[in-house]
Amino acid sequence: MRLEGKRAIVTGGGSGFGEGIVTRFAAEGAQVVVADINYENARKVAEATGAHPLHTDVSDGSSVRALMALATEHMGGIDILVNNAGITHLPAPMEEVSEEDFDRVFAVNCKSVYLTARALVPALKAQGSGAILNVASTAGVSPRPNLNWYNASKGWMNTATRAMAVELAPAGIRVNALNPVAGETPLLASFMGEDTPEMRAKFLSTIPLGRFSTPRDLANAALFLCSDEADMITGVCMEVDGGRCI
């Protein structure tokens, strides 16, 4: 019960890493709101965990404001925000990625962090505490060819995490990030271009521990960084990558 009494929001919580984080947070005693653009996925995760589902488009300011208002009303406040929602573009030479795909990647992966901060930080400052966790990627630490603009968006998230951490520390708010390697999530096929045994073997050969990240791996790291056990840790961008970035 390491999060007993805590109130958390997990964006993109309807599948993949987000679902793993919701499941672990709920098991550790937190009240959790599952925010996802796919409400049906959010509802299923909520039913399985006792969480509360909300339809949210994290790239839209009015949707994010509604999320914060409804989550606050439901839980009586917010202590933890996990910015997990994210997308990628298909692997392609940088000059061939469409402007539409570029805009969507930066809206979901970057603008969302600004929108959730704008909507939530005033309340966290008022209560003098809070933890924000941004889910970035090893792509933002050690970029791979043909995912250039996705790489850049995740590098932005890491820089934003550090900038937020140093500014919000005097208010008692901690901000950290996780950098997972690709995992068994709905985005895996997009990262690889195609999900075949050959592509999986090629990708796994770059990970010293020899396996993909799992939702459980990310949930364990998220639990630590969002718990009071990490109350002296802020501005950290933790790699959960099996050694991928060494």
- Residues marked active site are found at 150
Distance CA 10, CA 41 (A): 13
- Contacts of residue 18, defined as CB under 8 A and 6 or more positions apart, other chains included, come to 10, 11, 12, 34, 36, 82, 84, 85, 135
Cα 116 from chain centre:
12
Q: Amino acid identity of 17?
A: F
Sign of CA dihedral 164, 166, 170, 172: positive
